């Protein structure tokens, strides 16, 4: 099967921890061919199918390297790389693995991918589902598992929410990797300045609420989570913000949440989801480019990439 990965530039991959990279490795190990493109490589000309300017690559070494350091040598064969414009429905599967932010470019790309679906392409995660599940809003569909949460542009609403709960986290809706996250304790120190910074004087909606990453693949939970533990005085546990990743078996509560949401999300066309859980409460539903494959595999010996490609092959 030919698989197209719509992703960030592959030259930027941190191969020692990138989940898309190990998806590619596992796919190639099973005999599938791998091609890559950027969202900016997608095109749709009237009367023709959606196409992409793709690079067909061959990974140079497909033996396990979980936990290894960043590759210092090229990890894909440039000599074997071929470029060309190909209709997306010529691929057996198209994997949308573009990292956030969830911005206008991302949304336009999902529209092109959705047209490719109408032409017969099989796209994972489903483009319409990506649009319908903005990651910091989707948890509002499952309030029984979420902490008290407010989405607002109103500074007065934020102040009232803080007065009610005392210790809150503020996030911008379009952030990723821990960007723009603030904690405000009962003293309310710098709350006004933080609201201004996040809310752009009322021009940008923000989320306020009350971190373990729980992966759900094909509607079923991976049996291990990755706890992203803040370091020092940092409030953010995100790995991109310097958090330490510690894999561990799912708790009963985490499994309950994953098993409750998994079938619903899978039925919506979400093959891979990353649920963020803090203190047994759902805080985010990540659908654009969930990660943590390598950390879980390295520490627990459970091959997450193999589970993912199993689900991909079953869904084709």
Catalytic residues, by residue number, are: 136, 171, 213, 228, 236, 276, 284, 286
Q: If residue 184 lies in a helix (H) or strand (E), which one and from where to where?
A: strand 182-184
Contact 116, 49 (CB under 8 A): yes
Q: Among candidates 19, 48, 56, 29, which has minimal Cα distance to 119?
A: 48
Q: If residue 137 lies in a helix (H) or strand (E), which one and from where to where?
A: none
Q: Concatenated DSSP letters for 140-194?
A: GG-GGGSPSEEEES-HHHHHHHHHHHSSEEEEETT--TTTT-EEE-TT-TTHHHH
Token digits of residue 226: 């990755």
| CA-based torsion, 168, 172, 173, 177: positive or negative | negative
Cα 217 from Cα 27, distance rounded (Å): 16
Q: Among candidates 120, 98, 128, 117, which has minimal Cα distance to 268?
A: 128
């Amino acid at each position: 099967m030919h698989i197209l990965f719509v992703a960030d530039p592959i030259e930027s991959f941190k191969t020692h921890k990138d989940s898309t990279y190990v998806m590619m490795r596992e796919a190639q190990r099973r005999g599938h061919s791998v091609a890559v493109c950027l969202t900016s490589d997608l095109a749709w000309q009237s009367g023709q199918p959606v196409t992409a300017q793709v690079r067909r690559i061959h990974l140079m070494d497909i033996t396990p390297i979980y936990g290894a350091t960043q590759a210092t040598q090229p990890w894909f064969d440039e000599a074997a790389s071929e470029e060309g414009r190909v209709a997306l429905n010529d691929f057996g599967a198209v994997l949308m693995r573009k990292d956030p932010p969830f911005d206008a470019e991302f949304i336009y790309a999902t529209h092109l991918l959705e047209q490719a679906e109408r032409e017969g392409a099989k796209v994972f995660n489903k483009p319409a589902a990506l649009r319908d599940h903005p990651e910091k809003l989707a948890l509002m569909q499952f309030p029984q598992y979420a902490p008290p949460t407010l989405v607002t542009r109103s500074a007065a609403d934020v102040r009232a929410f803080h007065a009610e709960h005392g210790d809150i986290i503020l996030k911008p809706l379009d952030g990723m990797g821990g960007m723009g996250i603030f904690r405000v304790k009962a003293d309310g120190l710098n709350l006004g300045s933080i609201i201004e910074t996040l809310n752009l004087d009322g021009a940008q909606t923000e989320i306020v609420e009350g971190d373990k990453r729980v992966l759900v693949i094909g509607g079923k939970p991976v049996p291990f989570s990755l706890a992203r533990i803040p370091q020092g005085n940092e409030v953010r546990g995100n790995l991109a913000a310097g958090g330490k990743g510690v894999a561990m078996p799912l708790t009963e509560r985490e499994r309950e949440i994953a098993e409750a949401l998994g079938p619903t999300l899978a039925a919506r066309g979400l093959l891979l989801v990353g649920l963020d859980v803090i203190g047994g409460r759902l805080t985010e539903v990540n659908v654009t480019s969930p990660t943590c494959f390598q950390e879980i595999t390295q520490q627990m010996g459970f091959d997450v990439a193999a589970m993912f490609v199993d689900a991909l092959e079953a869904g084709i």
